[in-house]
Amino acid sequence: MSGPLELRRYLDPRERDAAAACPIRDAVNIPLGELARRTHELPPPSDTISIATDQALYVRTSNALMALGRTCSHISEFDHETAPSTTRGRLWRPSAFVERAARTLSPGRAIDVGCGTGRDAVFLAAGGWRVVAIDHLPDAIHRGLGLAHHSGIAPGAIQWNCADARSTIRKQIAEFDLVVFVRFFDRAVVEQATQITRPGGSIVIEAFEDSSATGPRCPATSEAELRRLFNGLEFRQVEAGTDERGRRLLRVWAIR
């Protein structure tokens, strides 16, 4: 059964059996040998990763992470759990904008369009949402499935679709309480968002407002364009910000 995912402070790089036998408090276990293929389960790239382990394993783990461009710190003093934890932990973070919106809504049906490696979809599922996740990249879907498994998400809570968003959206009906686009902005797909959103449902978009960050999956947009695309919708929140690389982002939460 799915349950809350607590944000934790430390990475425990021990082998799985050793970590399960003696869990470190406030840590998430990702074995050293699995780090290279589970980088999407780590904190944001701008964060220093705090590694709770002995000196020898810290050196090996930090070397592996620094080769991936990450910075690390050693936590040599830590406590162990005295009883089995009743919640799962995570080091990764969903979109802060999606998180804020979702926490004010009652869980229902959500669709994450251009889901990438699945952090937003998994976060929503852990909060009780029934999620459809779409991405055209098989590797992204594979990583999302792994993230859901490691996060203890119940089978069936997320329907993963490796497919083109345009063709998939056309097959959906107006049954979603939340439609999410995070750094995926295909105008032909976004234009159809209201058609798959229930009356009173939310559309949450985080897109680039900086033309230097444009690409086939997320060209730049503007508040004026979104107001045109969502003419007649209530704009509950509009904010500008930047991503971890300083590129301008536009975040919009609209209600049908």
Q: Where are the alpha helices (DSSP H) in the chain?
A: 16-21, 55-67, 96-103, 119-126, 138-150, 165-170, 187-190, 223-229
Identify any residues that bridge with 208 across adjacent strands, giving them in sequence order. 249
| Residue 1, both tokens | 């059964």
Burial class (CB within 10 angstroms; exposed 0-12, middle 13-18, buried 19+) of 225: middle
Give the SS3 label for residue 113: strand
Each of the 256 residues of the chain gets a pLDDT tens digit; together they read 456 799 999 999 999 999 999 999 999 999 999 999 999 999 999 999 999 999 999 999 999 999 999 999 999 999 999 877 778 999 999 999 999 999 999 999 999 999 999 999 999 999 999 999 999 999 999 999 999 999 999 999 999 999 999 988 888 888 999 999 999 999 889 999 999 999 999 999 999 986 665 555 567 899 999 999 999 999 999 999 988 888 899 999 999 9
What is the Rg, in whole angstroms, of the alpha carbon atoms belonging to the chain?
A: 19
Tell me the domains of the chain and their CATH numbers: 5-90 (3.40.250.10), 96-255 (3.40.50.150)
Taking the model in full, what pTM does it have?
A: 0.93
User: For residue 181, how many other CB atoms are within 10 A of its CB?
Assistant: 25
